[in-house]
Structure 1
Amino acid sequence: MLSAPDVASVLGISRAGAYELVRSDGFPSLRIGSRIVVPKENFIDWINASTSA
């Protein structure tokens, strides 16, 4: 599982940008309690789909 700051680091964007992204439709994020997490496999699939489109 990745956190929003992890997503920011991988994509080279700000933390605020990562939180906006993980809340957007079509992004593979989950809310667990108060935490927003991204399953690593789903994130990789999302990157591959985004770069091949």
Structure 2
Amino acid sequence: MDFDDRAGPEFARDDRGEYLLEEVPLTAEAIEALNLMPPQVKDALLDAIRARSLTAPVA
């Protein structure tokens, strides 16, 4: 995860606010607490986690 690798028009404009990277556990509880946009991203992640088709690596 390298913030310097970001790309897209949202990063080219200083007047659009601040974009911060934040590491989040890949759990339903953690994803539910996020304000992900568009909301379909959040729904897709939650569906995959609950179906156990998307899992976090075991430490």
**TM-score of Structure 1 vs Structure 2, range by shorter chain:** 0.3 to 0.5
Query: What TM-score do the two structures reach when normalised by structure 1?
Result: 0.33
TM-score, length of structure 2 as denominator length = 0.30
Q: Of the two, which has the highest radius of gyration?
A: 2
Bigger helix share: 1
- Which one has a larger percent strand, Structure 1 or Structure 2? 1
